[in-house]
Amino acid sequence: MDPLLTLHIRIINQVFELDKKTAAKPELQSLQRNVDRIKQHFEEAGYTIVNPLGEAYHETRIDYEASITGDMAPEMEIVNVIKPVVYYTTGGQKSILQKGVVIAAAK
């Protein structure tokens, strides 16, 4: 992969971590705007950052790799996102740059 894209992915993962923390902790709320702004800059540059937290788990969805915790059940959801899904659009073509890393569990 292009070293610049690799660098961007690393930064996106860190921003994602920051985003998780600011969302969970009201005392960090003042950072949220800056976090949103960094995310927006990446989106303007062609990156689509997807956080599948809370979405239903599908085995046909291949933009994330899931670890399943607890027992399998017909209805499962994403309970934790370790790395977000990142798509990159260039020349009108959208493709996956980073598969998400998620934890799924029964609803």
Partner 1 sequence: MSHQINFGIDLGTTNSLIGKFQNGSVEIFKNPFGQKETLPSVVAFRKDRIIVGDKARELIEKDPENVFSSFKRKMGTSESFFVPNTGDFKTPVELSALVLRELKNFIYTGEKPDAVVITIPASFDTIQSNATKKAGNDAGFREVQLLQEPIAASLAFANKQNNTAGLQGQWLVYDLGGGTFDVALVKIVDGEMRVVDHEGDNYLGGVDFDIAIIEKLVVPQLQQQGNYPDLLSQLRSARGKYNTLYHILLKKAEEVKVQLTTSTAAEIEFEIDDQDIYLTITRDDFETTIYDSIQYSVDLVKKILTRNQLTSADVMEVVMIGGSTYIPLVKTLVASQLGIPVNCSVDPTTAVAVGAAWYAGTRSVAAPQTKENKAAAGNAPDIHFKTAYQKNTADKEEYFTAIVTGPVSGLSYRIVRADGGYDSGIKPLQERISEMLLLAENSNNIFNILVFDAAHNELAVDAPAISITQGKFNIHGQPLPNDICIEIDDPENNTTKLELIFEKNAILPLRKTIIKEVMKTILRSGRDSLLINVVEGSRYAIPGSCVPLGMIEIKGSDLITDLVKGSDVEITLQISESRDLSVKAVLLMNEQEFSEIFNPLVRQINIGKLQDDIHQLKIQAASKMKRFKSSQQYELAATVQEIQSDLDSISDRLEVLSIDDVTDEKYQLEERKRKLAQQLDNTGKDQQIVEVTEQYFKQKDHCLWHIQEEKDEGRLARFEQITKEESTFLSSQSYYTIKAKTDELINLGWEIVRNKPSTWINNYHFYANIPPNDYTNPQMAARFMEIGEKALARQNYEELKAAVYQLHNLMPDDKKNNQPLKGTGIG
- Burial label for 76, CB within 10 Å (0-12, 13-18, 19+), is buried
SS3 64: strand
Residue 16 CB neighbours (<10 A):
20
The residues that touch partner 1, with contacts defined as CB under 8 A, are: 17, 30, 33, 36-37, 40, 48, 50, 55, 58-63, 65-72, 79-80, 82, 85, 87, 94-97, 99, 101, 103-105
Q: Which is nearer to partner 1, 4 or 30 (CB)?
A: 30
Q: Which is nearer to partner 1, 12 or 66 (CB)?
A: 66
Q: Which residues pair with 65 in a beta bridge?
A: 101
Distance spanning both ends of the chain, measured CA to CA: 37
Q: Which is nearer to partner 1, 71 or 75 (CB)?
A: 71
How near is the Cβ of 42 to partner 1 at its closest, in Å? 13
How near is the Cβ of 40 to partner 1 at its closest, in Å? 6
